């Protein structure tokens, strides 16, 4: 069999597998799948089913998870297709998928690293780069003078992180940014070959490890980022919010970054200003009601009309989790304006760590910054 034909058949066969999976769950729209994932664009998901190229393992994981299936069940099929695709390319050895985490979920994206508790970097519309492909090694060589360390958004910040939001003008990444953690405004990495003090062109993949949590203390955890898990913890079962137990000692929690993706709307940017209330690791009482407020700036050229923060574990909020509304409205905000976003939080009746995440969506319900970590709040709930 001709090598090119074998390669094409391997790609098409795997694309057919993904199409069958999607059909089996009712053929949901790709935009809906992207919103459910919160970690990958609808165009990348669509491309994975066309059979033009083999999707990356990271894309495959997000596709399968968006269909409420287990990525581990598709790992061997992806590996088989990948070996065929790579073996027919002269001098291009097969690229293996990252080691599978215990539950079969994606441990960390190739674009990511640890969740910066206050990763204050702006989202913009960086130069387009290929996504969802296996045409290049997962870890391309760094340009001269660059080192392969985690980007600055993945370093340890002080209390209150804005995973997707940059600091106000005047902040540098050498000094701790203010408290706050609005995950939907951080800057996407630049296109390969560009240089800058904030981002490296070589992505860093971090694997999560399973941790056995000892002790009899009651723990309250709300992990609502279906596309990322806290670093250093085993991810929960695919398709549901069943996070590994966290304790107040884990605060502030760091989570991995989702796969790289541009903002939904070109030149849409958000800048984190501060946590007006309830900065990370604030101690609160059990069974109390309080108001959480984030302050953001519309730093792009797109008007925020009908935007909101959507809680990512809806509609499965449990009684032992912090309770909030599903969609937190954002007042219409013009470019250059600052807005306070607030939601009422009711703490659980048991002590532990309350960790809640949201993604910014537009008026149509689509995730605005799919390539960035969610906005979140982290509260230490004391006993009554």
Query: Strands 375-382, 352-361: parallel, antiparallel or unpaired by DSSP?
Result: antiparallel
- The verdict on residue 11 lying in a domain is yes
Digit-coded pLDDT (tens) for 363-378: 999 999 988 888 899 9
Dump pLDDT digits (tens) for 134-144: 444 433 444 44
Same domain, 202 and 268: yes
Distances (CA, A) of 333 to 65, 91, 268, 340: 33, 52, 12, 10
Task: Dump strand ranges (E) for the chain.
Answer: 270-275, 282-285, 289-298, 308-311, 327-329, 338-346, 352-361, 375-382
If you average pLDDT over every residue of the chain, what do you get?
Answer: 69
160 and 77 housed in the same domain? no
- Estimate the crossing angle of helix 57-66 against helix 3-24, to 10 degrees: 20
Q: What is the CATH number of the domain that holds 329?
A: 2.60.40.10
Tell me which range, 141-155, 260-274, 307-321, is most confidently predicted by mean pLDDT: 260-274
Domain count, the chain: 2
Percent of the chain past pLDDT 90, that is, above it, reads 31
CATH number at residue 10: 1.10.260.40
Phi, psi of 256 (to 5 degrees): -75, 160
307 and 368 both lie in a single domain? yes
List the domain range (segments joined by +) for residue 355: 109-125+141-384
At 27, the pLDDT band (50, 70, 90 cuts) reads confident
pTM more than 0.75: no
């Amino acid at each position: 069999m001709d090598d090119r034909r074998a390669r094409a058949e391997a790609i098409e066969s795997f694309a057919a597998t993904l199409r069958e999976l999607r059909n089996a769950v009712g053929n949901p729209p790709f935009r809906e799948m992207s919103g459910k994932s919160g970690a990958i664009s609808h165009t990348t998901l669509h491309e994975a089913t066309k059979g033009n190229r083999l999707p990356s393992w990271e894309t495959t994981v997000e596709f399968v998870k968006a269909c409420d299936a287990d990525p581990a069940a598709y790992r061997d099929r992806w590996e088989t297709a990948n070996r065929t695709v790579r073996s027919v390319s002269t001098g291009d050895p097969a690229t293996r998928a990252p080691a599978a985490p215990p539950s079969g979920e994606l441990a960390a994206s190739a674009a990511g690293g640890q969740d910066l508790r206050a990763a204050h970097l702006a989202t913009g519309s960086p130069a387009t780069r290929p996504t969802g492909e296996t045409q290049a090694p997962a870890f391309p060589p760094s340009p001269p003078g660059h080192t392969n360390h985690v980007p600055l958004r993945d370093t340890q910040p002080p209390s209150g992180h804005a995973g997707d939001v940059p600091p106000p003008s005047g902040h540098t990444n050498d000094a701790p940014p203010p408290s706050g953690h609005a995950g939907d405004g951080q800057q996407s990495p630049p296109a390969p070959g560009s240089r800058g003090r904030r981002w490296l062109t070589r992505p860093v993949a971090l694997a999560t490890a399973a941790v056995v949590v000892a002790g009899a203390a009651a723990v309250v955890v709300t992990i609502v980022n279906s596309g990322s898990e806290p670093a250093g913890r085993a991810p929960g079962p695919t398709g549901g919010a069943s996070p590994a137990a966290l304790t107040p000692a884990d605060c502030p929690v760091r989570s991995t970054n989702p796969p790289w993706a541009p903002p939904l709307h070109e030149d849409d940017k958000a800048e984190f200003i501060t946590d007006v209330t309830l900065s990370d690791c604030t101690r609160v009482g059990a069974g109390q009601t309080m108001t959480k407020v984030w302050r953001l700036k519309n730093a792009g050229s797109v008007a925020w009309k009908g935007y909101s923060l959507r809680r990512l574990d809806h509609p499965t909020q449990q009684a032992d989790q912090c309770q909030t509304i599903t969609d937190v409205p954002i007042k219409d905000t013009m470019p250059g304006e600052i807005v306070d976003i607030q939601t009422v939080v009711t703490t659980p009746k048991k002590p532990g760590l309350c960790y809640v995440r949201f993604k910014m969506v537009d008026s149509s319900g689509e995730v605005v910054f799919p390539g960035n970590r969610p906005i979140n709040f982290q509260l230490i709930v004391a006993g009554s």
